[in-house]
Structure 1
Amino acid sequence: MKTLPAHMAVLMANIIFGLGVPVTKLLLDKWVSPMGYMVTRCIGAAAIFWLISLFMPKEKVSRHDLIVIMLGGLLGFVVSQTLTAWALTYTTPVYFSLIATLTPVATMVCASLMIGEKMTTRGIIAVLIGIAGAMLMVLMGWQGGRGTNDLLGIGLTILSLLTWAVYLIITRKVSTRYTAVTQMKWVFLVSTVAVLPFSWNDLLTAPLYSSATQWDGLLEMGFIVIFATVAGYFAIPFAMRYLEATTVSIYTNLQPIVASLVAIALMQDVLTWDKPVALILVLLSAYVAQPRRS
């Protein structure tokens, strides 16, 4: 039964992505620009995935599939994550998390329009349960916007989640034919080539890579590269070999919950009744979304 490991993989990925939101905010506020942040992720992930691939059986990728993998990588990583980085420079993680809960809706609608995936009653109910869980937690802790330009940040967040939804859809079939390492080594290679020319100056002038650097900045970036990029983007294509795109996207609703739990651990928030209830609702939504086999 491969669906259980797939659920565990996408669960792990979204917990990591949830942790990555406040860590990214810390990096952008003090250590790197959005483009410096992106190019570091690209170079680090490309180097790690190509190194791992040297110790794995070789997979021959067809030209058509390679184009899909690279296009998907540009959308799902370069475009989506660059928009995320810029969004977090203008708005708060609370606003970002609230808007990000709409990812399953965007994925379901895009799947229906692009590949004719039927919007079942069960799927719609699952999405609504997941959104209810995430919005419950976020709205209970709502403090109002404190970003420098919340309207722009929210707009960038919407564009980010739309490109992520399209990535999940267009790479769904390719993900069933190749290992995650094979896919990701090409994704981050083309991402590095695409981003490096536009971020070279940001890389050279980033405080993180100057004499002003400190261990906290290096550890934060290490977490982003190793966990929020390599581990997270390894888990997603693995999960998509066995789960539908809409099911994978529903787990996105875990991210604001994780961010809240991090705040509790750092004594920036307190544990209230809505947080465990929200967690149960999000996990229930993923269970309901699974198609029943006769």
Structure 2
Amino acid sequence: MNSSIKGHLSMLGANTLWGLMSPLSKFVMAAGVVTPLVVTDMRIAGAMVLFWIASFFQKPEHVPHGDLARLFGAALLGIVLNQGCFIFGVSLTTPGDASIITTSMPLWAMVLAAFILKEPITGKKVLGIAAGAAGALLLIMGSGNQVKATATTGGNYAIWGDLLVLSAQLCYALYIVLYKNFVNKYSLTTIMKWMFTYAFICTLPFSAGDLMRTNWAALQPSHIGALAFIVIGATFLSYMLIVVGQKLLRPTVAGMYNYVQPLVACIVAVLWGMDSFNWIKGVAVVLIFGGVYLVTASRSRKELDNYKAHENAQKS
């Protein structure tokens, strides 16, 4: 399989799984048995165990102390701060505001890639991000089940919540840009087992109280099944796919697949009878995938350098 196609399929798969996680997480937490912190800790702990088990079936890789420190930084940005800021942010603002703010991630990725990796900001890239954002916003704003703001999410609390959700997007964009080249150094299993181990160590002090207070016996089989999917599918499998996509695609292209999540959540809502499909959602789908195509078709730094070198060779 072509490496580019493999990268696109990996990012599509990962963000599809994350899109499915959103309604399933709401379903589990609506029962009032587990808190958002418990769900997050279960994701991190479960993925950590699964990645360590998977590592026993491959050739051991030695990771020097310097790279372990870099993996700690990756865990902070890609897992701890990303998930932590998002969870606490959503608790202070409305789900609708949080969903809208998440559309900023591809923009952060484009700007950071331009400054850090010297990736060019082309017209196609800007147009693609704008089209994808417009499509995602159409889906979010047109959703029939958005939660309205309440007294507990107003004023300064909502502002802080919005800033935290925005910080979560910035942290994830930093992760995919800063570690674009580093992830090629080791296998995805080695990278993920250390990242989730560090993430577990960092989050456990904050979630230990909730974990001990949870009435696990009150969970219904449907809740257990949903949690199993969240841990295995939306964390273990999705993070494996993310590393594959991160290795094979430019950061801005990888970030564009963030727009698939509201699309998947919308499809699930339609299938579950919580929403209906209309022409606005059809336009949103076209905008999202049209945006992904435009960003993918934009020239990379390497392509621009080759083009300039070819022009100079013709002139001389």
Normalised by the size of structure 2, how large is the TM-score? 0.85
Distance apart, 1:157 and its partner CA: 1.4
Cα offsets for 1:61-99 (capped at 9, x unmatched): 343333222211121111111222223334444332221
Cα distance in 2 for partners of 1:22, 1:139 equals 17
- After superposition, what is the alpha-carbon deviation per residue over 1:151-197, rounded to whole angstroms, capped at 9, x for unaligned? 24323211111111111111111112222111101111111111112
Distance 1:284 1:214 in 2: 41
Specify the code of the residue in structure 2 equivalent to 1:23: L
- Paired AA for residue 213 in structure 2: T
2:224 is matched with: 218
1:145 aligns with 2:151: no
- Counterpart position of 1:255: 261
Cα pair distance change 1:204/1:144, threshold 3 Å: closer
The answer (yes or no) to whether the contact 1:23–1:220 under 8 Å persists in 2 is yes
**Structure 2 CA distance, aligned partners of 1:77 and 1:144?**
26
User: What's the counterpart of residue 160 of structure 1?
Assistant: 168
Cα deviations by residue, 1:5-63 (Å, 9 ceiling, x for unpaired): 11001001111111112222333442322322222111100100000111112223343
CA distance, structure 2, for counterparts of residue 282 and residue 217 of structure 1:
32
Aligned partner (choices 273, 279, 283) of residue 273 of structure 1: 279
How far is the alpha carbon of 1:262 from its aligned partner?
1.1
Compare 88-97 and 247-256 and name the one that shifted more. Answer: 88-97
Q: Distance in 2 between matches of 1:89 and 1:279?
A: 29
8 A contact 1:24–1:85 mirrored in 2:
no
Corresponding residue for residue 4 of structure 1: 5
How many residues align structurally?
292
- Larger Rg computed on CA atoms: 2
Correspondence 1:228 to 2:228: no
Cα deviation digits, residues 80-120 of structure 1 (max 9, x gap): 11222223334444332221111111111222333433322
Contact 2:7 2:245 in 1 (8 A): yes
> Is residue 2:199 matched to residue 1:197?
no
C-alpha RMSD of the superposition: 2.0
Inter-CA distance 157–229: structure 2 relative to 1 (3 Å threshold): same
Residue identity matched to 1:262: V
Q: Which residue of 2 aligns with 1:285?
A: 291
Query: Which ranges in structure 2 are unaligned for 5 or more consecutive residues?
Result: 308-316
- Give the % identical residues: 30
Q: Aligned pair 1:136/2:144, yes or no?
A: no
User: Contact conserved, 1:70 with 1:190, CA < 8 A, in 2?
Assistant: yes
CA contact (8 A) 1:31 1:217 kept: no
What aligned pairs does 1:40-59 form with structure 2 within 5 A after superposition?
A: 40-59=42-61
The offset of 1:202, in angstroms, is 1.1
Cα distance change of structure 1 residues 155 and 23 upon mapping to structure 2, 3 Å threshold: farther
Gap runs ≥5 in structure 1: none
Matching of residues 108-147 of structure 1 within 5 Å: 108-141=110-143, 145-146=148-149
What are the equivalent positions in structure 2 for 1:7-22 lying under 5 Å apart? 7-22=8-23
